[in-house]
Amino acid sequence: MLTTKYYQVFIFAAMKRLEASILVTLFCFGLDSLHAQDTLPKFNIRDINDKKILVTWINPYEYNCTQLAVQRSFDSLSFYTTIYSAQSPELPQNGVVEMRMPKGVKVFYRIFYVLEGGNYFFTKPIGVESDNTNNKLMTVGESPKRNFLREIGNSQIVITPSINVEGKVWVNIYKKSKDTLLYQIEQKNYRHFRDSIISRTKDTLNTIDAFNIIVSPFISKPTWRPSQYIFTTDNTNRVSMHLPSPKVRKYKIVFYDVDGSELFQIKQPKDADLILDNSNFLHGGWFTFDLFEDEKLKEHNKFQILIPF
């Protein structure tokens, strides 16, 4: 019968052997996927079987990566569409299964990712096709590169035409981000479109390349407008209320402090015009209110009581 000392040594040795066995198993399981895999912006494409392929990547940015998408195109330079958007882009290693294209069809993949702070990147595309002889996946080269000058400010874009399969040159117009394609314009019509945006709107055109343009809509800063029902005046510096037909309509007003806490309520005032004493608000500054008419929110607004009362 084992003594307590020898029993502890036996258990310790068994645990060590089990731990080593688990590490070896995990190592062997992950060796194939990690072998020769570089981190973004590089990624890998490999066979699964004669019907599927696997696109894999390693993310070195962890939680600094806020968005990641896999994109596919039949042209290495343009017409990319998103086939997968990662719900957890911060994962250190991930992949997506894609159906293999028919034999002889070239397809290109790239990864679009965004880092914290708004910087975004596109990886260099990888093109693949199935070999007509043995059905093995093989890498293909990129399409011939187009020569162009980038647009700086409102300067003119000089494009060296490139003909697609339909015999036309297209410019892709996106909204806000490269993933939201609005429409495509023939290159010969793009200058008119650009001039219209610049002269008739306050929107901004950002050029990714000669064939990909992002339109950033102009967003005006919100301006505050005093309420016509509850307001203060420079002359009295008091809160005035003007509620039409209080005997016909049912009103309720809820007043809030600057931190959102409720101060008090006024239910069904009898008079159409009232002036509130500033002592109800305890201090000067901004206050908000909700005005309800017939139990429906009619207005949410704010007013300012100047100091001193």
Single residue among 171, 192, 220 that ends a domain in this structure: 220
Same structural domain for residues 41 and 113? yes
Q: Span 215-234, mean pLDDT?
A: 84
Cα separation, 67 vs 113, in Å, equals 5
Q: Span 114-127, mean pLDDT?
A: 87
Q: Is pLDDT larger for residue 143 or for residue 221?
A: 221
> Which pLDDT tens digit goes with each residue over 68-120?
999 988 877 777 888 999 999 999 999 999 988 888 788 899 999 988 888 88
**Residues 182, 175: contact at Cβ < 8 Å?**
yes
Q: With respect to residue 122, please indicate whether it lies within any of the assigned structural domains.
A: yes
Q: Is pLDDT larger for residue 227 or for residue 169?
A: 227
Q: With respect to residue 225, please indicate whether it lies within any of the assigned structural domains.
A: no
Burial 70-93 (b: 16+ CB within 10 A, else e): bbbbbbbbbbbeeebebeebebee
**Which pairs with CB-CB distance under 8 Å and at least 24 residues apart come from 48-52?**
48/97, 50/100, 50/135, 51/99, 51/100, 52/97, 52/98, 52/99, 52/100
Cα separation, 148 vs 141, in Å, equals 21
**Residues 106, 129: contact at Cβ < 8 Å?**
yes
Q: With respect to residue 160, please indicate whether it lies within any of the assigned structural domains.
A: yes
Same structural domain for residues 104 and 62? yes
Q: How confident is the model at residue 157 (pLDDT cuts 50, 70, 90)?
A: very low
Tokens 């293909």 locate to 140
Single residue among 121, 144, 167 that ends a domain in this structure: 144
**Which range has the worst mean pLDDT, 42-56, 198-212, 236-250?**
198-212
Whole-prediction pTM: 0.39
Residue 244: give its domain's CATH number.
Answer: 2.60.40
Residue 80: give its domain's CATH number.
Answer: 2.60.40.10
Single residue among 144, 168, 198 that ends a domain in this structure: 144
Q: Which domain holds residue 177?
A: 146-220
Cα separation, 229 vs 289, in Å, equals 11
Same structural domain for residues 21 and 44? no
The number of domains in the chain is 4
Q: Is the predicted pLDDT of residue 259 greater than 90, yes or no?
A: no
Q: How much of the chain exceeds pLDDT 70, in percent?
A: 74
Q: Is the predicted pLDDT of residue 279 greater than 60, yes or no?
A: yes
